[in-house]
Structure 1
Amino acid sequence: METPPLPFRRTIRRRELHQMIPLAETTIYDMERRGEFPRRFNLTPRCVVWDLEEVEAWIEERKQQSRSGKSSPAPGPDVNQRITRPVRSRNQ
């Protein structure tokens, strides 16, 4: 018995993703690690893609949260990890 073909799932590469999501690469990567953004996957060792349907669902979810007023503010940076440098006075 032959298995039915998988439904067509469109994937997008980095350039298309950045046209849809105007966030820095590191922001997207950090959100992926925290489970807050769809995960990328490799088609080949040098070709990374995202599932377009998952990205569109993420955008829609963010839009609904924003419009309902139920979105929690994005967490701020962890200031305990900050590397401090001495502040120079302007006279130096």
Structure 2
Amino acid sequence: MLEIKKNALSDLHHLRIVTQKELRQLVPYTPQHILRLEKAGKFPLRIRLGQNRVGWMLIEIEAWIASRRAASPPPSPADQPHA
């Protein structure tokens, strides 16, 4: 039974919508910068949930973060913390 619930939750993951507050925890950009990126086609578009409420698809935000990470050069030895 627990396995069925886990599968159901993982199936719903692609449908999860994050709020603006949750987005700020994932992507530390200002709302204005997010809007500029959206308009430039460089960030997933928001979804209007109501008159004063928007959200973003979590799976799209995660894919955007992964693409940014893949495009980033590896850190140089000078950037590594000293032990």
TM-score normalised by the chain length of structure 2: 0.69
> Structure 1 regions of 5+ residues with no counterpart?
1-6, 69-92
1:27 match: 33
1:75 match: none
Which is higher, the Rg of structure 1 or of structure 2?
Answer: 1
Q: Deviations over 1:4-24 (max 9, x none)?
A: xxx630000000000010111
CA RMSD in angstroms comes to 1.3
Q: In structure 1, what is the Cα distance between the partners aligned to 2:32 and 2:23?
A: 13
- Percent same amino acid at aligned positions? 35
What is the Cα deviation at residue 35 of structure 1? 0.3
> Structure 2 regions of 5+ residues with no counterpart?
1-10, 75-83
Q: How many residues align?
A: 62
What is the Cα deviation at residue 67 of structure 1? 3.6
Could you tell me which of 9, 15, 21 is aligned with 1:15? Answer: 21
1:46 match: 52
Q: Which has the higher contact order (CA 8 A, sep 6+)?
A: 2
3-state DSSP of counterpart to 2:72: helix
1:68-79 alignment to 2 at 5 Å? none
Runs (4+) off by over 4 Å: none
2:47 maps to a residue whose letter is F
